[in-house]
Structure formats: C-alpha cells, structure tokens
Amino acid sequence: MAASLVEYVVARQREGWNVLRNGAPIGRRGVLVRALDFATHLAEREAILGGRSTRVLMASEDTDYLPGCQPWCRAA
C-alpha cells in the first residue's frame, strides 16, 4: 500500500496565518514563525505515527515576514 501525501500549507490571511491540512483549515496563528512551527510539528507527528509522507508549504513571497529573512529568501 502506497503512503499518501499530506500537505500542510501556511497561508497569509488578513492579520494572521492559517494552517491548512490538505486544504482544510486546522489552525491559525498571528505570527508566521509560529504557524510554520505548528504545521511542521503536525507534519512530523503524522509522518512518524501515521506512516504518511508529509510536507509543509508556504508562498515564497511570504519569506519577508520571517525574522532575519535574508537567508530564507536566498533559500526560497
């Protein structure tokens, strides 16, 4: 049985950041770093406990909202 891919997406919305799991909203954070941390935590947990492939995505133009964004911008 092939493992299904689960996507966690961090998307900007108004004054905060939504965390979506396969398109369904599952959380909201006011700071991008906290939203990424939350999504990454859930993705890692699901990969370990659920045996699924996971990934965390965000828009590359949102890297400006990360602290010390210069290294992040170069990597994106």
Cβ–Cβ < 8 Å for 15, 64: no
pTM for the model stands at: 0.80
- pLDDT tens by residue, 27-59: 999 999 999 999 999 999 999 998 889 999 998
CA distance 54 to 21: 10
